[in-house]
């Protein structure tokens, strides 16, 4: 799952479930399966959100991960829209930068 940083949560979930069929002895309980899902390949920003969540089922955990992925996508879209409105590539207007004194 080395490419998981590029995968969507749905793609990661599908790949995880596909591969987990061959390694049932690695996670005999639902909790262990949740732990592996969290630690094996979630992107950092999503992992930080779900790591604090104590899941009871993989379904709960993946729902949380999907929600966080959606939030990240929405924020990214909004950020890009704001940049386009300003007509700048910089997220901050030039007046917000402090001048360095020599």
pLDDT 10s digits, 63-98: 999 999 999 888 887 777 777 777 765 555 554 445
Could you please report the per-residue DSSP string of 68-89?
Answer: HHHHHHHHHHHHHHHHHHHT-S
Count of beta carbons in the 10 Å neighbourhood of residue 16: 20
pTM of the predicted protein model: 0.65
Burial label, 46 (beta-carbon count in 10 A; 0-12, 13-18, 19+): buried
- pLDDT at 13 (0 to 100): 92
Name the residue with higher pLDDT: 7 or 64: 64
């Amino acid at each position: 799952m080395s490419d998981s940083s590029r995968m969507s949560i749905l793609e990661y979930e599908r790949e995880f479930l596909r591969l987990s069929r061959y390694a049932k002895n690695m996670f005999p309980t639902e909790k262990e399966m949740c732990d592996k899902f969290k630690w094996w390949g979630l992107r950092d920003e999503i992992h930080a959100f779900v790591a604090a969540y104590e899941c009871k089922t993989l379904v709960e955990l993946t729902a949380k991960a999907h929600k966080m992925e959606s939030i990240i996508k929405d924020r990214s879209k909004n950020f890009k829209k704001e940049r386009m409105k300003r007509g700048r590539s910089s997220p901050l207007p030039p007046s917000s930068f402090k001048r360095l004194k020599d």
